[in-house]
Amino acid sequence: MAFEFRLPDIGEGVAEGEVVQWFVQEGGTVQEDAPLVSVLTDKANVEIPSPKTGRIVKLHAAVGDKVKVGGLLVTIETDGPAGAAPTASAAPATPVAPEVPPAPTSGTAPAVAKAPSPSPPPRPVGGPVAVSPYLRRMANERGIDLSKVTGTGPGGRITEADLLGTSGTRGTGASSPAPTEASPGTPAPPAPPAPAPAPPAVPDAEVAERVPIRGVRRVIAEHMVEATHRPAPFTYVEEIDASELVLLRDKMAKHVEKRGTRLSYLPFIVKGVVAGLKAHPWMNATMDDARNELLVRSAYHIGIATAAPDGLLVPVVRHADQKSLNEIAREIQDLAERGRAGKLSRTELSGSTFTITSLGALGGVLATPILNYPEVGILGVHRIVRRPVYRADGSVGPADLMNLSVTLDHRVLDGIVGAQFLATVKSYLEDPHQLFADLR
């Protein structure tokens, strides 16, 4: 009997997942509870086991396709009675092919993308709504009823162009009211701007390879677009004399590393950041753009930007204010190792209230970090360099110096807030003994 398996509900708030890897192929067999498919949601890979033992009749989504919760994934021929797995939606959803065009990169083996199937007709008005979270928020802000909008994207997906051509009145039709004839003497309305010319085609002879933007890289791309379109970023930089921090870290590392944990400067910086957030609570906040509200957070969940093979991840150290230096160091090390292995859960990659990004020894002199939206602040950490400095008594001597840069959402935070916050962090890092005496 043919068994149709649909994408189950794989987490709160998850509406769709991208197929990253199939562990089976058409015509092959699979055992119940054996790995069936890996699906990506918000940078976290979820491995879904097979619900049945049988032969794979058809895979209904290719690697790179997005499938909605309840969408058909695979048909399995079993010995039992026919049936379908319970779903979260009444009708099967059509996998949505990647919308981001391939872009040439270097150092990566070319990936072969499956040819897209013909696009189905647009979704009728009033049917199930297929729309990204970014466009859903845009619709809420403009007062647009999505159920009244006809999606013209693949599978009836609503595009930004569909929203821009829609009236902002809830419950009205999908089209803007027709313009009325101007009365005599009334100046004609200005003509709409001409569409931007399409970019020139790149000759095939000049393309070294075509790499589809999908998986974690596509999630990062979508987040970066939102993080640059919504906030109004502003960056402030401060120089830190880390000489005392270097000495303290060297002494404490001897004790911490006996327990198998590498002690970098990052746990010290997390401690300093928490002190700064407590002194300036509005920095520990996230934006609710749908309600136009700033949510000042009472918990201190610090995101740590981490490089992984598939792209940048931001695992979260939760309740960092309640943890010792050793606990923070151990947790950062564990999150980084599992992040590089692709073993972090969606929960471990979400919910941060403030983010720290650092390239360690490659930290450079200065960078302007992009906000981890909807957070309103992010700290950039740069490498420590020993240089001569003039001291207050007029003498010249060596010092271990580094730059810290903080990027703010200037819509809700003025530059003075960022300067005060960074001054607080600076004071604790230049005299770290006041924070890090407790080593549990």
414 is annotated as an active-site residue:
yes
* 3-state secondary structure at position 256: helix
DSSP state of 215: T
Please give the full DSSP string across 343-385, using - where no structure is assigned. ---TGGGS--SEEEEE-GGG--S---PPP-TTBSEEEEE---E
At 7, phi and psi to the nearest 5?
-65, 120
At 361, phi and psi to the nearest 5?
-65, -20
Count of CB atoms situated within 10 Å of the CB of 183? 6
Distance CA 408, CA 395 (A): 37
CA-wise closest residue to 8 among 44, 16, 94, 65: 16
Catalytic residue among 33, 414, 431, 433: 414
Q: Enumerate long-range contacts of 327-336, CB under 8 Å, 24 or more apart.
A: 327/440, 328/267, 328/270, 328/271, 329/256, 329/261, 329/262, 329/263, 329/264, 329/266, 329/267, 330/259, 330/261, 332/264, 332/266, 332/267, 332/270, 332/304, 333/261, 333/262, 335/304, 335/306, 336/304, 336/306
Provide CB contacts within 8 A for 112, sequence distance 6+.
none
**Cβ contact 219:40 at 8 Å:** yes
Distance CA 348, CA 245 (A): 29
Say how many residues make up the chain: 440
288 is annotated as an active-site residue:
no
Catalytic positions are 410, 414
